[in-house]
Amino acid sequence: MWNEFARLWREYRGFALFVVLMIVFRSAVADWNTVPTGSMKPTIIEGDRIFVNKLAYDLRIPLTYISIHKFGDPGRGDIVVFDSKAAETRLVKRVIGLPGDVVEMRNNLLTINGIGARYSNVEYTADAIFAIESYGGMTHRIELAPAGVSRFSSFGPVKVPEDHYLVLGDNRDNSADSRVRGFIPRGEIVGDARTVVLSIDYDRYYLPRMDRFLRNL
């Protein structure tokens, strides 16, 4: 039996080593995630595959959430990937509130620490309202429901607890984010996303969207 095992090891050790290294790499260094919903539209759309940098904030022991070195903390405006215990799934959202911030939203207008976000380039279509939301160094495009108001449109003011973050989807009226799941613990955040690797159009026979390949977020 031992001789048979030794023979198999000699024959397949290269493949086994490759599999182990791939698991370690995807667990602790980098991965990609499929985005199945439109909660981050218009920044990320259904069918996008996003590159996840797992070394953005921490060096972790592979296959665990144990951080052995912290490179930094998420910043306002970062798109983070986190394993939500509240949602029991992996989610992708944008960091809006940092620990200690007081955040409020009234009719989809954000106020952080008493200072209102700025809104520009407002565009009305039959299906949605689009605008550029800016606060400090954070600038990104958001999407709202055509009516402009939903049950998600107002909340707070709330204070973000220590070691937690308030996250929102860019598709403000169609995102189960901190308004539904609560504040996100720092330990649940596994990395950030800054690039679309590739994109598949579910409505066009899974054809690739070439214009979204390697697109910066």
Residue 131 near residue 107, CB atoms below 8 Å: no
Active-site entry in 39, 175, 178, 199? 39
Local confidence pLDDT in tens for the 217 residues of the chain: 677 666 666 777 777 787 777 777 788 888 989 888 999 999 999 999 999 999 999 999 998 999 999 999 999 999 999 999 999 999 999 999 999 999 999 999 999 999 999 999 999 998 999 999 999 999 999 999 987 677 889 999 999 999 999 999 999 999 999 999 999 999 999 999 999 999 999 999 999 999 999 999 9
CA end-to-end distance (rounded Å), the chain = 54
Q: Domain extents for the chain?
A: 2-216
Residue 50 near residue 33, CB atoms below 8 Å: yes
Type of residue found at 180:
V
The CA-based angle 184-101-94, given to 5 degrees, is 45
Type of residue found at 124:
Y
Residues 2-216, CATH architecture: Ribbon (2.10)
Dist. CA 102–CA 98, nearest whole Å? 9
Residue 94: burial class (beta carbons within 10 Å; 0-12, 13-18, 19+): buried
Residue 209 near residue 203, CB atoms below 8 Å: no
- Residue 41 annotated as catalytic: no
User: Quick check: bond before 157 cis, omega within 30?
Assistant: yes
Those residues with Cβ within 8 angstroms of residue 86's Cβ, 6 or more apart along the chain or in another chain = 181, 182
Dist. CA 127–CA 39, nearest whole Å? 15
Active-site entry in 41, 54, 84, 93? 93
